[in-house]
Structure 1
């Protein structure tokens, strides 16, 4: 069943954020808990722990502190949309978040879209407007960490995300 969903919580970022990780829209579990990637089978937090060799904790407060400590910002492409459950393929009537505000307020060098739908929405609906306004930040679309991809090994996404974070300069020597 499709329903109109409003994002419900804001971005996590500060003036030291160098990588922006963008999803499409929070899952029902994430909206319920008011924070990003909170479905218990989503592999985002275990992957981030492996990438940074650091414990993100379990609470939204701990996880927000974790990403800020590593110069990572979190948000989603969409402020609202019509969606069925957590199915990105069912998204209709998208309304965008103001990504430009964050890109102007922090030295973000790289946007990482978590999943093909987030990457498509960003590239089609946000990036052209940013470029017209003189903002040109590299964007990479990486594999989704959702439970739908849980059958795959965690090693591949960890190495891919690690390389992306290194490219943006947020991993130190030995990470």
Structure 2
């Protein structure tokens, strides 16, 4: 079991919604791309929310479109030991510096947790952070194919994010 190391955050001064996963899975780590597993619903979900066909774009263009629309990405775990891609297999997690990142995003209005482990750990890390008083913390169903509810049911829950994005 090797140590998996996450990616750098995808944010800029326009970030209003920060979506936090747990830790990239094997497919993402191999591709060096967030949400690279072909059955992960992230890109269709966020693309549907933004009204853009993000899955059709090259990866770097997807990231540029997210930033332009006020959406940032990162993970709550900076690194961990894990065999496979399931959150349940994560051992010895090292927390990402969410406080530092969130504190440096002047337009931040919502932090959305993509899945249960991201919510559990992320809420713990961000608890009692004074400059996040006006930032909504939102638990979302995981975009992972391992979270077996339909993409349309996930989309209904993810729709709340549009309340925090610019027109």
**TM value normalised by structure 2:** 0.90
Give the equivalent residue in structure 2 for 1:89: 88
Give the equivalent residue in structure 1 for 2:43: 45
Give the equivalent residue in structure 2 for 1:167: 163
> Alpha carbons of 1:42 and 1:33: their partners in 2 closer, same or farther (altered >3 Å)?
same
Matched, 1:77 2:73: no
**TM value normalised by structure 1:** 0.86
How large is the RMSD of aligned CA atoms in angstroms?
1.7
Contact 1:41 1:146 in 2 (8 A): yes
Alignment of 1:1-175 (within 5 A): 2-7=1-6, 9-56=7-54, 57-106=56-105, 107-124=107-124, 126-128=125-127, 131-132=128-129, 134-136=131-133, 137-149=135-147, 151-163=148-160, 165-168=161-164, 170=165, 172=167
Shift of 1:104: 2.1
Contact 1:23 1:115 in 2 (8 A): yes
Report the count of equivalent residues. 164
Which is richer in strand?
1
Contact 2:141 2:157 in 1 (8 A): no
Q: Note the alpha carbon deviations across 1:139-164, whole angstroms, 9 max, x for none.
A: 11110011113x5322222122122x
